[in-house]
Amino acid sequence: MIRFCSLYSGSSGNCLFISSGSTRILIDAGLSCKKITEALNSIGESPQDIDALLITHEHSDHIRGVGTFSKRFGVPVYANYSTWAAMEAYVENVSAENRVSFVTGEKFGVGDIEIEAFNIPHDAVEPVGYNFYINGRKITTATDIGHVNKNLLSSIENSELILLESNHDVELLKVGPYPWHLKRRILSDVGHLSNEMAGKVVAYLASKGTKRFLLGHLSRENNFPELAYQTVCNALRERNIRIGSDIFLDVALRDRVGQVIEL
């Protein structure tokens, strides 16, 4: 049985869990080792059983707890070569034998899970999303997306479940407290995905057959769960896609453990 859970997903820290039953993987560790451990325990999982920690990119909300978690539980950390170089100073606790590099676009395996990292447009050195292939089923995680292009859509199509960024409401961001240079960064082609664009992507993927969606990486200052959810609902309604009967839609919360999805 596949288990997927967003332990935390937001601008203040990210950590996702996926399991095939025999292999257990974390995607990012952007919170303290203590908080990640507590989150795992709350869903009946143990940090000692984690087989790999996969890194999407070097920003602190994705790697804050990497060094401590890897050292304490002996977990191998996987990242592409550029990301390893960029986060070197922040993950000194990761031992040499637990540093694993991969080439973006080339599939690799952890236990019985096949993994494919794909490029995403974001202001990091070589940021990636991940596709996980388990018993013929595809699960996708894709956040920190500045814009959507054909290559990205091609990478994330035909997943059974996707966690997709829905970071901000454009109008809230524009009138919010952030300084202009930060607003400009978020709105740029290497920033973050808005609720409106997330709605368009979800509607497109639903039309291609994806049935389960989680909206993730919500901003604390420029979004809230109900708004992200309703914005995507509106985009689906315009295309006569019904939540509940046609697709499953939920929001991965920034500050608490989400629902465990079993497939």
Closest CA to 215 of 229, 236, 200: 229
Block residue for tokens 């974390």? 26
**What gap in Å lies between CA 208 and CA 177, rounded to an integer?**
38
Euclidean distance between CA atoms 82 and 93, whole angstroms: 18
What's the CATH number where 135 sits?
A: 3.60.15.10
In the chain, the percentage of residues whose pLDDT exceeds 70 is 100
Task: Write down the pLDDT at residue 92.
Answer: 84
Range of the domain at 55: 3-262
Nearest 5°: phi and psi at 42?
-70, -20
Q: How many domains does the chain have?
A: 1
Per-residue pLDDT, 258: 95
pLDDT digits (tens, 9 = 90+) for 13-42: 999 999 999 999 999 999 999 999 999 999
What pLDDT was estimated at residue 12?
Answer: 87
Average pLDDT of span 76-92: 94
Q: Is the pLDDT confidence value at 90 over 90?
A: no
The model carries a pTM of: 0.96
Any idea which residue has 């050292």 for tokens?
A: 71
Tell me how far CA of residue 59 lies from CA of 8, 126, 261, in angstroms.
15, 11, 27
130 close to 136: Cβ distance less than 8 angstroms: no
Q: What is the mean pLDDT of residues 46-71?
A: 97
3-state secondary structure of 263: coil
Calculate mean pLDDT across residues 244-259.
94
Q: With 0-12 CB in 10 A as exposed, 13-18 as middle and 19+ as buried, what is 217?
A: buried
The predicted model gives 62-87 an average pLDDT of 97
Q: How far is CA 59 from the centre of its chain?
A: 13
* Confidence category of residue 250, pLDDT binned at 50, 70, 90: very high
Split at pLDDT 50, 70, 90, the class of 89 is confident
Beta strands 161-165 and 212-216 are: parallel
User: Which pLDDT belongs to residue 29?
Assistant: 98
Check residue 48 and report its DSSP letter.
Answer: G
What's the mean per-residue pLDDT of the chain?
96
